[in-house]
């Protein structure tokens, strides 16, 4: 890589501050919420983004659109847009993937202004608004890095592809899952995939693995009776409580530790509880609760399912009830190797551009990285952020966008 060229690009990125703010303002002003949140999808936001990019010098031939049909939104589709800039080596691509959709703002009384209008504090560099961090920070970083290369007439070392996805907040069925099922050929086995949708305030962690996720809805059916006659019924609530404790005890059964994660062990936590009876003097015959399981990758979901079924049978026999299980969510994926090309390249970029020594980590949450890994594509999740996504007064810092854009530019050019 020509160091002089990189310094020119790095300085150009710093000079694009006004464009960063402009793009954040455009994106934030369009509430790209999923139908599940009462929204109209991402089409309007995607069109505004494409218009911005065309105005900045990219041309129509560099865009590819992969629309997934969805009759619930007015456009009829959920858009997935790819911007490609060819590199010297056209046989390999660096991907930067970000999602267009956002979550609702929630309680408006907890916001100090309109969630859909960017507020920028010049002194601190803080940008506030719904979506500015999740995932517009990563989106804008990728755009800024590539825009700087174009403005300085620098050809990247290989192809650069910016993917703007739909539907990340509600399972990615219309986003990355759709692309992998219907258009897997767009990804190359040697491509480097970076997803700037998670990280830490220093920008030093690179997420390479996720715990397997299993969300269970547990429906216990007993026999309702009067509170004074418990012997005439079968207390579904009591049986449910016993089962919740027994399922939580699986943390002691699946007891391996992995320091890549925090916490470094598998968790089985009872969470949501549905109401059962209306008054205190009724023994409930039905009870419903939920369990959130986050399992280290060393255990398969089938192994966990078998243990759950065994413990359910114990409760059914002890209390004379029937237990039905429904999987609300189930996801498992292999890890990206800490020695994979994408991790090594990103780690070197962080060290070269900002003197940051990268640290591979695993997380308990789910990202689109898991979907890619299941198809055999290594993916690294990374960004410099405070992780305030989904919160009131969501924010990011413009200096982090600039910093991450410079890191990405190094990856594009090296």
- Convert the pLDDT of each residue in 121-139 to its tens digit: 999 999 999 999 999 999 9
- Structure confidence at residue 76 as a pLDDT band (50, 70, 90): very high
Asked if pLDDT for residue 1 goes beyond 80, the answer is: no
Its pTM stands at 0.89
- Number of other residues whose CB lies within 10 A of the CB of residue 292: 17
Asked if pLDDT for residue 366 goes beyond 90, the answer is: no
Asked if pLDDT for residue 176 goes beyond 90, the answer is: yes
Separation between Cα atoms, residue 144 and residue 141, nearest integer Å: 5
Read off the pLDDT of residues 324-358 as tens digits, 9 standing for 90 and up.
999 999 999 999 999 999 999 999 999 999 999 99
The per-residue pLDDT for 318 is 98
Q: 155: closest CA among 354, 348, 9, 350?
A: 9
Specify the range with the lowest mean pLDDT, choosing from 57-66, 211-220, 255-264, 360-369: 360-369
Q: Which active-site residues does the annotation give?
A: 101, 168
């Amino acid at each position: 890589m020509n160091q002089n060229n990189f310094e020119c690009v790095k300085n150009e990125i710093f000079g694009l501050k006004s464009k960063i703010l402009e793009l954040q303002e455009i994106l934030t002003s369009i509430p790209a919420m999923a139908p599940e949140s009462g929204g109209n999808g991402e089409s309007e936001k995607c069109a505004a983004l494409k218009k911005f990019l065309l105005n900045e010098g990219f041309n129509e031939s560099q865009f590819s659109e992969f629309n997934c049909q969805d009759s619930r939104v007015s456009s009829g589709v959920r858009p997935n847009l790819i911007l490609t800039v060819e590199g010297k080596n056209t046989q390999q691509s660096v991907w930067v993937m970000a999602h267009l959709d956002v979550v609702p703002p929630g309680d408006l009384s907890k916001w100090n202004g309109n969630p859909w209008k960017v507020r920028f504090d010049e002194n601190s560099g803080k940008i506030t608004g719904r979506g500015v961090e999740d995932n517009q920070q990563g989106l804008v970083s990728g755009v800024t890095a590539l825009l700087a290369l174009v403005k300085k007439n620098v050809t990247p070392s290989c192809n650069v592809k910016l993917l703007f996805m739909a539907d990340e907040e509600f399972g990615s069925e219309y986003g990355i899952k759709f692309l992998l099922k219907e258009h897997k050929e767009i990804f190359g086995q040697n491509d480097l995939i970076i997803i700037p949708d998670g990280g830490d305030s220093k920008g030093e962690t690179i997420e390479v693995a996720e715990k397997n996720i299993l969300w269970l809805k547990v429906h216990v059916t007993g026999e309702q009776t009067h509170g004074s006659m418990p012997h005439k019924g079968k207390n579904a609530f009591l049986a449910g409580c016993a089962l919740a404790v027994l399922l939580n005890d699986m943390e002691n059964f699946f007891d391996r530790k992995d320091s890549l994660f925090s916490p470094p062990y598998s968790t089985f936590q009872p969470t949501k509880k549905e109401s059962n009876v209306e008054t205190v003097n009724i023994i409930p015959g039905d009870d419903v609760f939920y369990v959130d399981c986050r399992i280290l990758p060393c255990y398969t979901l089938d192994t966990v399912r078998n243990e759950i079924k065994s413990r359910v049978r114990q409760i059914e026999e002890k209390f004379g009830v029937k237990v039905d299980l429904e999987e609300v969510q189930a996801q498992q994926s292999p890890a990206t190797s800490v020695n994979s090309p994408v991790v090594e390249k990103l780690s070197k970029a962080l060290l070269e551009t900002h003197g940051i020594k990268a640290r591979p980590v695993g997380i308990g949450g789910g990202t689109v990285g898991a979907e890619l890994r299941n198809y055999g594509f290594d993916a690294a999740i990374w960004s410099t952020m405070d992780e305030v996504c989904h919160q009131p007064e969501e924010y990011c810092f413009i200096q982090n966008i600039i910093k991450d854009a410079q890191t990405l530019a190094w990856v594009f050019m090296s």
